[in-house]
Structure 1
């Protein structure tokens, strides 16, 4: 794996040395603004004229003084993106992983941008990166690994976002726009895919004008099915499969040219097995020390269970470690269910020189996911979670221009209400409460956590052109977040409720943004900015001993100084963009999951320096090349203390940030040929390279990736007439072995990991009408 990583890094750096800098997207297949239905896949964007909505108005990407990467729907398809976590492979300084540690849920996301994010799926932990789908904020990381079905564009904004969006997000924001109805044209698209692991996907969308220029309806849906890629040797089942269905309906009503009403509804249903898992170490292995639960379990409990390990012993021992990372002896529950739905209404009214917009939404989530954390037939470390959540949000926004368009403004107000519950079990060393077993007794518990959140905010941003080509940006946001948290925990050994506590707190903050932007020419933008990000505090929800463990942790803040250059050359054939930043990170909310020690505490201070450097080249119509490199130097400058006697932070000032590789690199090339009969052949290849990645806050060597490379390819033939398209593709062609999450518990003497998908191939056919 190290050899592949080094070779990929060297080849990627060589490519960058030839071509220069930072890019947002392949001009051959991208436009990141809403367009008429089905136009995205056929859009041929000359000169890389990508349009984004990063500042709540449609602008050329090259005119936006923000570090943003944008992908159109066709660009996502060309890169084999079928779930949105895969966009991280083509975006610098972002980690977007599923299968969050300790969860067992495939769709439970952990997202970090520039080293800032959240590594926990729990309902009491708030994400550090915000997700907006059609302007609606999604509050939970559960269900965050969304399917890329009928997507018009995805935009990744790096750095604190708060003066333009409903919910403040400290690390960055991901804006997902689904395809809007076309009011005049009947159209549609169907696609079928077959591939490895008996993959059978079907996707479709249809656009129906109901009243020309007045009312249009778009309905899209998909069924996604794939066998798991990890085999459970105990019972023959698999992990990491796909079995999901989704449907979305969007109705656009335009009764007058000044008034647009967008109504939408969506539903996703998944009935899958648990996320992939693999046992890495048992007992006295490197990186694991102090194993009292495992020693006592093997002495007093395991021999009475009638379970024989592969080495013939009646104990939980290292013989359960398999030779293949895609095999496990797990014998516990194997479920991963999700029901996710929502409705929304967006009303936009043109006032003449200004637009008033209302965004109303309700969303509902139910999830059930399980995990066999010991990866054996024993009931030694298993968890189940039944989570429910609903949210309501209302945003009002006014955008416009004044003073002969020299002044642009956005002002808004945001209200958010959420209730969520997590009913869980932690079956830990079951049996250690028996009279023959001495302490430590099992901390196995029934868990009931409830959270009731409310948020108010007012925000605004002004962009004023001081003199021609020189403008200043001033923005601010006031946030008031209130949390009410209840934790009820019952010990399994004696059915005693040892925690029953309710706590509440309100977190208020003003966060500013200022910037200076100089448009030296139509093709050259220079900018500098300062922004402050804020994430509310909260309460620990994993007590295993007493109510004192339900401690309150403080909000965290991030001050970011950024400077950037965006340039186009050679009549748009070459785009080079660069952004450098320095961030001061305070009261970092550090998640420690080393069962039975699980908590969040503020890890004092840190600094993050880095840059993003991207380029797109299109020297000829038939050839496009893009490359990107991200660099991060994230470090602690001071280390705090835990909030209670059992909360010991496993870090020093020399510890590395979690999910913050120093280098991320991607490059891709697309070659196409148009035949005389009107057909077109296109071949695209992509390379992604990561340097070392630490998957837990303690930098445990057992779950540290030394670095790896991923190679994907797709060959597409479009038949004459452009209606039928045939493709063959491959992902992870070099069979790289890499982690998406992992966990090490010294007290239980175990280390486990979830590996990413192996090499896969597929064929697809689509028809457009």
Structure 2
């Protein structure tokens, strides 16, 4: 055992002996420095205490920043094969990610706070996403394919003062690689091949145009076949004689009986859970003088994959786990165009002005098999249902402007003042045909949700100051005033009118609902307007240059809004009480950062697809009354020597209880009890005091890699990462084992060869080595005999492949 590895063992033993729980999560990989001559990535050990973050809107050392923040470098993003925002969850304590199929949205939960029932792209998150400091209201457009990312900073706890609305539980900032004026011409490229016909290509080049201007071009493409196979209807559907018996037993006319048309079930083409994404970014840096620089980028993103599919938790006999009886072919078509701009002007030695602006245009359409084939039809009009959740069109336009004026240099008081404005203009048409038995059957219910104009306007001013009372003791205070307006103009929910003279067929995308048997069920015109002040108070003390602690009280806020029927829902607020400590050991080669927190959540917003007592469907928002309380502890340990790098990431959330919500409903959970008349819901459940979903009592991620130096100067680097999570609920209903993900361990392994001059590398990898089936959500259907069939989406099965990368 080497001296460094012995030191690591002693340090880890000491920490484990003195701490009841601990973890590590900040990136521990050696920093890659760019060789200006050829752009090769040279491995050089850099002290962990030198990592810089911008959590306070200014560059500060991670170990001197009194905020619970995880910093992940490009090296770790590459080695962990991070391609989407969901892939970073195991690297961050208390962060969980899910996807929802019918709209293929990404939802995040931080420290037990999130809303994975917010299934439409229009819903607001509790964890705010930023790219180069620009807020991204639609996560699907912003982070679907992460490429050429320099670092990721995850700020845990409410960030309402500096980072604004919708950062109730935290904020994530992705920083892209910027052009380099002085670095010369260099770049990198990578290609990969794997199972499920996986292939990937990405490349980036730096282009110094002049002494004041440089550009960078990055492109990426990733694809793989779908994980969910098509079941053969011939082996699943009842015989024609059984179909006829069931049809007649239901009172059907014998003269109108017809066998189920097996051709209506999908047997070929693209499968669910496939990837086919492409992206390109052109970035420019102009720095005419030392005191001014302007970073500008344009990004284009295409998604032509397929949505993620729910599969049965317990497959029918004879059917493979990764399969479904599909009657709606998957379809996903998304395009995103984004402009981001940042100007920094050093006005004088003590003051800097920053202007950050962004614009995004995101559009999409999709088809999704919501019935998942979980309940088999007994005839063409009886038994199960056919349900196609179809986004005919959706368009989202957003832009934002932010001005930050802040002090620079050495001051008794460091300050920042800011102003912010953001706006959205969105529209969507979403159709849901639901037919009895099969799509040849009679109408169970049909809806068409047409929202031609939904707008958001958000204005804010903020300020924060840090008083350096002594060289070691600091006091911080800040506040933000936000003013939010949301409007729904002309929105109409159309429902099936059950007119016997109208043919009972699924509505086609080109039909107007008023022309094919629909009537207005709800007008959604409404306006929401409210203001809110969020604030922060914090004290931190540096005991030594290698040890500091802090205590803070901070608040977060997510605005209310309009919902179906023109009703309003209220804003939610979060008060976070937190203490934390950061330590550095062994001349900066090991860091240990921990935080304990208590969160008091008011008016927590829950949304879900619901059925009203009159039979109409809609998307309902509810505010949980009283306090929703969460308490937890999280810790990150990182170590690196010349040849060894290790991380531990730990989170414990022993307390996570909902407040009061007596009438909670969701179409995803059949068989909920009938609701009393005053609720206006068809079925509902009292979830008061239930445990929050996606908040395991304990989770631990461990990562270790070691460089073996070969005689010719090349390196062989095995890397093993594993994550443990205790049991967690998958919904607020807490309905038993089908609504849980049991405790699991999921692990990955890679082996990388790097040639002596660091000009190229080859890597083999296996992800989810033991092929564990990890649920990220749950829903249930009810059979005719009253029993339930549970379905879930899952993290990917075992994948493996090889990568080849070059630097030039």
The reply to whether TM is greater than 0.5 is yes
TM-score bucket (shorter structure): 0.7 to 0.9
The SS at the match of 1:338 is strand
- Cα deviations by residue, 1:694-750 (Å, 9 ceiling, x for unpaired): 222212332321122210111111101111111011100011101122323559976
Please point out which of 588, 595, 615 is paired with 2:637: 615
Q: CA deviation at 1:37?
A: 11
Q: CA deviation at 1:190?
A: 0.8
- Contact 1:22 1:575 (8 Å CA) reproduced: no
Matched, 1:395 2:396: no
Cα distance in 2 for partners of 1:181, 1:355 equals 21
Distance 1:422 1:599, change over 3 A: same
Q: Give 1:707's aligned residue.
A: 743
Q: Give 2:257's aligned residue.
A: none
Q: Give 2:413's aligned residue.
A: 407
- Contact 2:161 2:480 (8 Å CA) reproduced: yes
Distance 1:123 1:623, change over 3 A: closer
Cα distance in 2 for partners of 1:443, 1:489 equals 13
Instruction: Out of 63-72 and 479-488, give the one that drifted further.
Output: 479-488
Alignment of 1:653-732 (within 5 A): 653-701=688-736, 702-732=738-768
Cα distance in 2 for partners of 1:188, 1:29 equals 19
Cα distance in 2 for partners of 1:210, 1:231 equals 50
Cα distance in 2 for partners of 1:561, 1:695 equals 26
- Cα deviations by residue, 1:238-297 (Å, 9 ceiling, x for unpaired): 21111111000100000000010111100110111231321348xxxxxxxxxxxxxxxx
Q: CA deviation at 1:16?
A: 8.0
- Contact 2:163 2:171 (8 Å CA) reproduced: no
Matched, 1:484 2:484: no
Q: Which has the higher contact order (CA 8 A, sep 6+)?
A: 1
- Contact 2:49 2:61 (8 Å CA) reproduced: no
Q: Give 2:522's aligned residue.
A: 499
- Contact 2:663 2:686 (8 Å CA) reproduced: no
- Cα deviations by residue, 1:450-496 (Å, 9 ceiling, x for unpaired): 41110001111111111221010100010111000243122244221
Q: Give 1:631's aligned residue.
A: 652
Cα distance in 1 for partners of 2:142, 2:206 equals 27
Q: CA deviation at 1:690?
A: 1.4
Distance 1:37 1:102, change over 3 A: farther
- Cα deviations by residue, 1:679-702 (Å, 9 ceiling, x for unpaired): 122111101111122222212332
Cα distance in 1 for partners of 2:63, 2:466 equals 16
Please point out which of 129, 132, 138 is paired with 1:131: 129
Contiguous gaps of at least 5 residues in structure 1: 1-12, 282-317, 542-546
Q: CA deviation at 1:371?
A: 1.4
The SS at the match of 2:658 is strand
Distance 1:627 1:520, change over 3 A: same
Matched, 1:235 2:267: yes
The SS at the match of 2:87 is helix
Distance 1:341 1:723, change over 3 A: same
Q: Give 1:262's aligned residue.
A: 295
- Cα deviations by residue, 1:625-663 (Å, 9 ceiling, x for unpaired): 211210112112433556942176534334111222221
Matched, 1:421 2:427: yes
Q: Give 1:200's aligned residue.
A: 199
Instruction: Out of 629-638 and 410-419, give the one that drifted further.
Output: 629-638
- Contact 2:477 2:537 (8 Å CA) reproduced: yes
Cα distance in 2 for partners of 1:514, 1:717 equals 49
Cα distance in 1 for partners of 2:76, 2:18 equals 21
Q: Give 2:805's aligned residue.
A: 766
Q: Give 1:71's aligned residue.
A: 72
Instruction: Out of 230-239 and 515-524, give the one that drifted further.
Output: 230-239
The SS at the match of 2:86 is helix
Alignment of 1:534-549 (within 5 A): 534-541=557-564, 547=565
- Contact 1:167 1:414 (8 Å CA) reproduced: no
Please point out which of 368, 373, 378 is paired with 1:371: 368
Q: CA deviation at 1:53?
A: 1.0
Contiguous gaps of at least 5 residues in structure 2: 1-11, 232-265, 378-384, 499-516, 612-616, 665-677
Q: Give 2:336's aligned residue.
A: 340
- Cα deviations by residue, 1:156-206 (Å, 9 ceiling, x for unpaired): 111101222254510100010010001021101110000111111010001
The SS at the match of 2:56 is coil
Q: Give 1:284's aligned residue.
A: none
The SS at the match of 2:146 is coil
Cα distance in 2 for partners of 1:563, 1:668 equals 26
Please point out which of 431, 447, 450 is paired with 2:449: 447
The SS at the match of 2:304 is strand
Normalising by structure 1, report the TM-score: 0.86
Q: CA deviation at 1:399?
A: 1.7
Cα distance in 2 for partners of 1:41, 1:447 equals 55
- Contact 1:603 1:641 (8 Å CA) reproduced: no
Normalising by structure 2, report the TM-score: 0.82
Cα distance in 2 for partners of 1:324, 1:230 equals 9
Q: CA deviation at 1:752?
A: 2.7
Alignment of 1:140-159 (within 5 A): 140-143=138-141, 145-159=143-157
Q: Give 1:277's aligned residue.
A: 310
Please point out which of 349, 353, 357 is paired with 1:360: 357
- Contact 1:472 1:517 (8 Å CA) reproduced: yes
Cα distance in 1 for partners of 2:132, 2:40 equals 18
Distance 1:716 1:625, change over 3 A: same
Cα distance in 1 for partners of 2:732, 2:101 equals 12
- Contact 1:84 1:146 (8 Å CA) reproduced: yes
Cα distance in 1 for partners of 2:390, 2:15 equals 46
Cα distance in 2 for partners of 1:50, 1:710 equals 29
Cα distance in 2 for partners of 1:389, 1:128 equals 19
The SS at the match of 1:62 is helix
Q: CA deviation at 1:97?
A: 2.1
Q: What do you get for the CA RMSD once the two structures are aligned?
A: 2.8
Q: Give 1:244's aligned residue.
A: 277
The SS at the match of 2:469 is strand
- Cα deviations by residue, 1:577-598 (Å, 9 ceiling, x for unpaired): 1100011111111223466575
Cα distance in 2 for partners of 1:32, 1:331 equals 52
Q: Give 2:95's aligned residue.
A: 94
Matched, 1:599 2:600: no
- Cα deviations by residue, 1:200-226 (Å, 9 ceiling, x for unpaired): 1010001000002x1000000011111
The SS at the match of 1:127 is coil
Q: Give 2:795's aligned residue.
A: 756
Instruction: Out of 44-53 and 495-504, give the one that drifted further.
Output: 44-53
Instruction: Out of 635-644 and 342-351, give the one that drifted further.
Output: 635-644
Distance 1:755 1:123, change over 3 A: closer
- Cα deviations by residue, 1:515-562 (Å, 9 ceiling, x for unpaired): 001011111111000001111112234xxxxx4xx4321111100000
Cα distance in 2 for partners of 1:192, 1:433 equals 43
The SS at the match of 1:652 is coil
Distance 1:42 1:31, change over 3 A: closer
Alignment of 1:454-603 (within 5 A): 454-486=457-489, 487-492=491-496, 493=498, 494-541=517-564, 547=565, 550-593=566-609, 598-603=619-624
